[in-house]
Amino acid sequence: MYCFLLRYVFLNSKGVTDVLCEACDQLGWAKPTKIQIEAIPLALQGRDIIGLAETGSGKTGAFALPILNALLETPQRLFALVLTPTRELAFQISEQFEALGSSIGVQSAVIVGGIDSMSQSLALAKKPHIVIATPGRLIDHLENTKGFNLRALKYLVMDEADRILNMDFETEVDKILKVIPRDRKTFLFSATMTKKVQKLQRAALKNPVKCAVSSKYQTVEKLQQYYLFIPSKFKDTYLVYILNELAGNSFMIFCSTCNNTQRTALLLRNLGFTAIPLHGQMSQSKRLGSLNKFKAKARSILLATDVASRGLDIPHVDVVVNFDIPTHSKDYIHRVGRTARAGRSGKAITFVTQYDVELFQRIEHLIGKKLPVFPTQDDEVMMLTERVTEAQRFARMELREHGEKKKRKREDAGDNDDTEGAIGVRNKVVGGKMKKRKGR
């Protein structure tokens, strides 16, 4: 079906080869997305592309298919480089390339921080077809790994370019552009066209074509968005209430700091919820472990910083909770884009405290709509206060113990990121798991 639709859409282009179309069918891709319809024919014609599309729009397929198609025509090692802002997104892109190219033997290498450099050097020595990297670690290998260079590179992709530049990777990107061939094809994908992205476009692309699927900031139609105006000191209690009210769903809960992510995960664990954290202070293996457990539905609640707000494709997220309101309004779009993906429905609930009113008004202005209040029974919420207060105390104890153990370096770094293994004080919380109320 995907193959047929590709041919129909790309009637005036040379089209994608049958083997790749079949791979799309096997992955369950029913039809090309808007950005794929716009970008793939132009990429097949050999044009440089600027792709502007909202989160969850199928951008990876829009650059992976033309690259693999070109690789089939002219097989070569170290054929394409994909730059991404986060480690998790790099692994996800690698999975897509390997899934699409499994029948043609495509090999990829993920080069990111938090992983042993020696094993990455060995992977690069095998000269994979596709390198997916974060800019900092790639520069490290270009400067220090003997025999590794990108002088024969044919394709460069910068995915989530606005975020790469917002994370102050400009110097690294400039260095990379200086050591790769000028005679190459370049695809720049970004959710927003910032001044930094425009500057990068002028430096890196030749006569590019712009593919803008969405020119204004918007959320998808099937996303139900709500807010809750609550006193700051009762945020934990309202969170527990919502998790009980919407029991049976899978949740992504966004916090503003690594510490608050870990604290809230411990709090929920102590109350019997299957919660798992994902943040930048965890080891890379633990970050991937958390993500894989959530993807496999072994955990129903993923607590994360904005490291997980962009690009990650987890199809089964039912509810996004903005536990801490995002400082930058555009991050709201990316966070809530983790649910209601690919035509599914989903909910997003944003906590607004007395300190967040201005930030919330900016979000409403950005998306061009007034959000309704999520209905709650305040008296029922307050009934949870004693249990939550006790769990807060245990969570603080656990955090303090973790900190002390880290300082003493007596603990294996792999033991603490999944809060299941943490000390067991959750068993001291009276009653264990939260009781589900009947008739709700």
pLDDT at residue 329 tops 80: yes
Q: What is the mean pLDDT of residues 107-122?
A: 93
- Residue 382: the pLDDT is 94
- Residue 325: the pLDDT is 95
pLDDT at residue 154 tops 90: yes
- Residue 110: the pLDDT is 96
pLDDT at residue 236 tops 90: yes
Q: What is the mean pLDDT of residues 132-153?
A: 95
- Residue 272: the pLDDT is 94
Whole-number percent of the chain with pLDDT over 70: 84
- Residue 287: the pLDDT is 86
Selected residue with higher pLDDT from 213 and 318: 318
* Tens digit of each residue's pLDDT (9 = 90 or more) over 174-219: 999 999 999 999 999 987 777 888 888 888 898 899 988 764 556 6
Quick one: pLDDT band at residue 4, thresholds 50, 70, 90?
low
* Tens digit of each residue's pLDDT (9 = 90 or more) over 388-417: 999 999 999 998 887 777 667 544 544 444
Distance of alpha carbon 242 from the chain centroid = 24
Q: Which domains occur in the chain, in start order? A: 2-212 (3.40.50.300), 223-428 (3.40.50.300)
Selected residue with higher pLDDT from 310 and 106: 106
- Residue 411: the pLDDT is 46
Q: What is the mean pLDDT of residues 6-20?
A: 61
Per the CB < 8 A criterion, the answer to whether 315 and 344 are in contact is yes
